[in-house]
Chains A and B, each alone.
Chain A
Amino acid sequence: MKIRNFLSATLLFLTAACAVSAAELPIKNGDSIAFLGDSITYGGWSNPYGYLHLVVSGLKDAGVNVTPIPAGVSGHKSINMNGRVQRDVIAKGPAWMTLSCGVNDVWHGKRGVPLDKFKIEITELLDKVDKAGIKVMILTATMITENVNGEFNKNMIPYNNWLRQIAKERGYLLADLSADMIKIITEVKAKEPDRRGYILTSDGTHMGVDGNKMMARGILRAFGVTEEQIRKTEENTWRYIPCKSQLITLNTPQIEKLEKICAERGITPDQFIRECVGKALNISNTGDQK
């Protein structure tokens, strides 16, 4: 009787654990992910709403705690990334690596990297990573300008086709961010033909808030997180990440007071300012709460 109870309790517990769905994901609790890339990946870490942060919080909500290893350097092409993959990725011993490469190879034109050379560099890079036993997810390169039919984006097509192909050949996970981005941009433009300004990026290439969300969604999906779970994360977590800036101008006595308070409490001016506004509005989660 007692044993039966125990067993059924254990069974219940196990079923509950499975429901969180962590057990089904290829990425495990405690894994680390190196995010290798260019300025888009750099911005994905330097902005609080960057895609690296969103992926980490999205996985956490799905029951998997991971450690990010940011490895984005502005202006880098396949040849540069191949040159530093040993130092910036392999030496850090991550369980996973995501690769975001191709934008600068195409964008830099004559100073870029032609497709043949791109294939050689990336193949070499991936060989090294495979050999080190690091699991790989390929991200297709995102758009250069938000013009779907623009010259750069046309030139990008064969690069991305090859990335899809090698991911398939080698059995890597694939987050087809290029396809996701083109789909969203095309839909929004069809729906709002008069719309001005950028849709996903801040300058046509580098991701704004929505662009980072688009990238994180694609990566989470590729890791097997369900649409329902991603929607929950957006609603309950991403919505609370600070993402829109406001200017506050202070005079010298105010700055002196601010710096004194921050030093005493060990917080940043940004945190204090968000807290002031949160208190005035009775908002408990201003984005700094753990």
Chain B
Amino acid sequence: MKIKTILFTLFSAAALHLSAAEGLAIKNGESVAFFNDNVGNYIPLIKEGLKSIGVDIKVIHAGRNGQTAPLMNARVEKDVISKKPDWMLLSCGVNDIWYAIWRKDTPLEQYKKEMADLLLKVEKAGIKIMVLTPGIITEDPKYKSNKRLAEYSAWLRSFAKERGYRLADVNVEMMAFITNSYQNVKNPRDYKNKLMQDNGRNTAFSGDKLIARSILNAFGATAEQIDGIEKKVWYYMPAREYRVLFNIPTLEAAQKEVERRKEYSVGKFIQQCVVDALEK
């Protein structure tokens, strides 16, 4: 009787997974090269989210922080094509516009040339492609760089359409979000659900979730599935890092305690103290 129940539960769970995964373009066991110009904090959200609906993917981290179109084009052979993934998710553009003293920005014409070249090489290698339009720079919709980013995105969108790639239109969705927020709160610092960290450039957890939702949607997941993932999976995933300063006596005492217990590092011990206090 009990075994029957267990078997039934297992079977129905599997069936649920099967039906859940059926409409998706990405299949169980496929490998995905994440080729992004940023840290890619959303990658674990995709991995765990898909896993929860029965699609276990193999992640290939090909992203590197601070990269531009010419740099990514130069290394696509080595870091993506030679790894023979089933999919490539490409995200590039923010650094092509973001000013930094140590690099040149990429004019639109050059960006088009490099990106088209990169994408056609990947296409030729038989790798399935999803293109992400670049995010935003600061949460001010009127910021000059955001206007430029929209132009770069527009080209990328039309190129993806022309070539039949899947498209996660992150730029449009983020712009819509901040434009909407901006109507209610004039100062981005007062936003409740900030998409970006205070530096205006790296995504905060809300931004990571927005990107992950957009990617899942582009893979063909339904809104209902994505809501379920957000509620059941992402809610319990690491969402924010707190960098906190401690004084020497505290750290010395923590070190002693760690040595006495012979099991933790000071960092893990401190993490555990906070989690215990919050969950009691």
Contact = CB atoms under 8 A, between A and B. Distances in A.
A277 B254 contact: yes
A250 interface: yes
A274 B278 contact: no
A240 B242 CA distance: 20
A280 B249 contact: no
Contacts, number: 123
Interface residues of B, number: 33
Contacts of A269: 242, 244
Interface residues of A, number: 36
A286 B235 CA distance: 31
Interface string A246-290: 111111111101100000000001100110111111110111000
Nearest to A275: B277
Interface string B255-280: 00100000000110011011111110
Contacts of A280: 257, 273, 276-277
Given A243-B245, A281-B257, A250 B238 contact: yes
Contacts of A274: 244, 246, 250
A251 B246 contact: no
A244 interface: yes
A243 B249 CA distance: 11
A245 B243 contact: yes
B52 to A, nearest CB: 15
A283 B278 contact: no
Contact of A252 (B235, B270, B271, B279): B235
A286 B249 CA distance: 8
B78 interface: no
A244 B235 contact: no
A242 B242 CA distance: 15
Interface string A230-250: 000000000111111111111
Contacts of B250: 274, 277-278, 281, 283, 286-287
A240 B247 contact: yes
A248 B245 contact: no
B170 to A, nearest CB: 21
B254 A257 contact: no
B66 to A, nearest CB: 18
A49 B245 CA distance: 10
B10 interface: no
The CB with the most chain A CB atoms within 10 A, among B238, B244, B273, is that of B244
B254 A273 contact: no
A252 B236 contact: yes
Given A249-B271, A253-B235, A244 B251 contact: yes
Contacts of B267: 246-247
A238 B239 CA distance: 33
19 contacts: A240-B249, A242-B247, A246-B244, A246-B267, A247-B244, A248-B244, A248-B270, A248-B271, A250-B240, A250-B275, A252-B234, A252-B236, A269-B242, A270-B242, A270-B245, A273-B270, A276-B274, A277-B250, A280-B277
Interface of A: 48-49, 239-255, 257-258, 269-270, 273-274, 276-283, 285-287
